[in-house]
Amino acid sequence: MPALIFDCDGVLADTEKDGHLRAFNQTFEHFHLPVHWSVVDYAEKLKIGGGKERLKSLLTPEFISKAELSPDPKAQAAAVADWHRYKTDIYTDLVESGVMPPRAGIARIVKEAHAAGWKLAVASTSHAKSVQAVLTHAVGAELAADFAVFAGDIVPHKKPAPDIYRLALAELAVSTAQAIVIEDSQNGLAAATAAGLRTVVTISSFTSAENFAAASLVVSCLGDLATGQPASC
């Protein structure tokens, strides 16, 4: 049985600007942290796989001093964990409020793959709670229940490392020849191809300038052919 494996952010929905970035900045305000990411700042942070890892990137000596954080690495790790939990809750609320509609074509492709008997999965560096919220919002609770979700800190190394896709292959019990990945970023493409997987790239708002030469197919969006709507990319 073949498998279709989706990335989450930028693939199921274009979540970065109105979701993750907004949630990060609200978190910074809540914890009185001396930082506010612009869209340009966040585009750079997206090169780092994982929200918790993006928060860790703040911990320069200058930032630690300005934020009056403890010099103890364990205390800093605990602070990052607190920030990330708060950010995840904000982000989940934003998803459920409907401010980030699913990308065009996602519901159609999932329904068609499910009807054809394909295994369905999401492989993401985001927190599992965030991924589940986006997935349910994008395809509905009934179809979402048929997905295997691989997300967050379940592997030693996040994208662009191939760990998450190797885990997905093992858990789904499929070979690389039986699986197709849908990604939107260079990091995601690198992770999938390093795991030996054929990858379709659907370009998202933050990734239009990235290098996708290794992809099997690159599209501006997946589109809704039945309604003739290639928009909402």
Task: Give the Cα separation of 99 and 101 in Å (integer).
Answer: 6
pLDDT value for 34: 98
Measured CA to CA in angstroms, residue 144 lies from 32, 38, 71, 110 at distances of 36, 33, 43, 9
Place of tokens 């919220």: 133
CA distances for 46 relative to 9, 111, 180, angstroms:
11, 30, 23
List active site positions. 7, 9
Give dist(CA 92, CA 133) in Å, integer. Answer: 6
> What is the pLDDT, as a whole number, of residue 225?
57
What domains can you pick out in the chain, each with its CATH number? Answer: 3-15+100-227 (3.40.50.1000), 16-97 (1.10.150.240)
Using the 8-state DSSP alphabet, how is residue 102 labeled?
Answer: B
Can you name the residues that pair with 148 across neighbouring β-strands? 121
Q: What is the pTM of this model?
A: 0.87
Which residues fall within 8 angstroms of residue 77, CB to CB, at 6 or more apart? none
Going residue by residue through the chain, which has 233 residues, state the pLDDT in tens, using 9 for 90 and above: 999 999 999 999 999 999 999 999 999 999 999 999 999 999 999 999 899 999 999 999 999 999 999 999 999 999 999 999 999 999 999 998 988 889 999 999 999 999 999 999 999 989 999 999 999 999 999 999 999 999 988 999 999 999 999 999 999 999 999 999 999 999 999 999 999 999 999 999 899 899 999 999 999 888 765 544 444 45
